[in-house]
């Protein structure tokens, strides 16, 4: 799932799994709120935030992804809020 070009919204209570890349990619000022999702069995990370991505991620289950829970580039770290996620 890609959230980009200033895209916004709330993703709550979804299962996002078995993607050939990351479960969720946020870039180009995309700014979603992800709450209580299960993001698993993806070939890369559960969540990737890059290229000026923003976002709030709360109480998500990010376990069982091939390359871990997160990929956040340094330029995005200050704009990403994370709390109570299972890794």
pLDDT tens by residue, 3-12: 999 999 999 9
Specify the pLDDT at position 78: 97
Kindly report the length of the chain.
87
Specify the pLDDT at position 16: 98
How buried is residue 42: exposed, middle or buried, by Cβ count under 10 Å (0-12/13-18/19+)? buried
Phi, psi for 79 (deg, rounded to 5): -105, 5
Specify the pLDDT at position 77: 97
d(CA 87, CA 17): 15
pTM for this model (two decimals): 0.96
Residues 59, 85: contact at Cβ < 8 Å? yes
Tokens describing residue 32: 């979603």
**pLDDT 10s digits, 25-79:** 999 999 999 999 999 999 999 999 999 999 999 999 999 999 999 999 999 999 9
| Structural domain that includes position 48 | 2-83
Number of domains in the chain: 1
């Amino acid at each position: 799932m890609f959230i980009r070009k200033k895209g916004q919204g709330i993703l709550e209570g979804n299962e996002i799994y078995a993607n050939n890349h990351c479960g969720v990619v946020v870039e180009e000022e995309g700014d979603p709120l992800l709450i209580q999702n299960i993001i698993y069995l993806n070939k890369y990370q559960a969540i990737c935030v890059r290229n000026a991505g923003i976002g709030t991620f709360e109480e998500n289950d990010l376990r069982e992804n091939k390359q871990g829970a997160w990929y956040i580039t340094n330029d995005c770290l200050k704009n990403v809020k994370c709390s109570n996620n299972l890794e």
